[in-house]
Amino acid sequence: MKPSFILAPSILSADFTRLAEEVRRLEKAGAGWLHIDVMDGHFVPNITMGPVVVRALRRRTRLPLDVHLMIADPNRYIDDFVQAGADVLTVHVEACTHLHRTLTAIRSHNVKAGVALNPHTPLSSIEEIVQEVDLVLIMSVNPGFGSQSFIPASMDKIRKLRQMLDERGLPQVRVGVDGGIQLDNIAEVARAGADVLVSGSGIFGTPAPARTVKDMLAQCQNENSFTDGNGRWHSAAELEHYFEDRVFQGAD
């Protein structure tokens, strides 16, 4: 059984002069997580944000913070992002020499561990560790910049990943997709097997981001009969179960 889906707006495309206000609106509209892209100018050709932004957001929202580390040597910064308030930490298989060790370090902090795969990276790269993760993030664009178009070949990769998880009896591992998610393709991506849908410019590049969140969730509603249609967990108890004993210290 595929778990209920989550829409995760990527704040990389947000208006940072009004970030707190935009986050409040997205939360009310039904966003499930906030996706935070961390880039270092080495692993990807761009520099974005760090633990300071995560810490500021933690004070302003109760939504889980999904921190995507597009950085070289992510082990050096796990403690910093956990202390800042991350609830999910995703690292790239391409950036980790000892991936199992990195995932173990993340989970030792009682946060969810994710692994991301660039478009050229095969699913075989995670076959030996997939049981150790909470999220597999399929990059449907080449990482480093927002506003890119969805790579069509990603759709088959999503289907194959969902099949791998089903065959191994790992329904609790979420399938995330990041890159080029728009209102006109989100339902197809969900149908392929994704249950964490990351969208940046597809939300923030529209005239009314909160309205777009609602429209995206409506598009996905019929793709997953187990969700209540608003992209959130069915109850606070279900959210607490997924995140185990973590207590969210954000805004009321």
pLDDT for 205-244, tens place per residue?
A: 999 999 999 999 999 876 654 333 333 333 344 544 555 5
In a domain, 1, yes or no: no
Q: Which of 40, 87, 134, 178 is catalytic?
A: 178
Q: Which of 15, 37, 66, 87 is catalytic?
A: 37
pTM, whole model, 2 decimals? Answer: 0.87
Structure tokens at 165: 């998880």
Name the domain count of the chain. Answer: 1
Quick check: 26 and 39 in contact, CB under 8 A? no
Quick check: 177 and 197 in contact, CB under 8 A? yes
pLDDT for 131-187, tens place per residue?
A: 999 999 999 999 766 667 899 999 999 999 999 999 999 999 999 999 999 999 999
202 is in which domain, residue-wise? 6-242
Distance CA 153, CA 135 (A): 20
In a domain, 49, yes or no: yes
Distance CA 44, CA 143 (A): 7
pLDDT for 43 beyond 50: yes
- CATH number, domain with residue 57: 3.20.20.70
**Tally of residues, the chain:** 252
Distance CA 105, CA 108 (A): 5
Q: Is 178 a catalytic residue?
A: yes
Q: Is 184 a catalytic residue?
A: no
In a domain, 247, yes or no: no
Percent of the chain, pLDDT > 90? Answer: 80
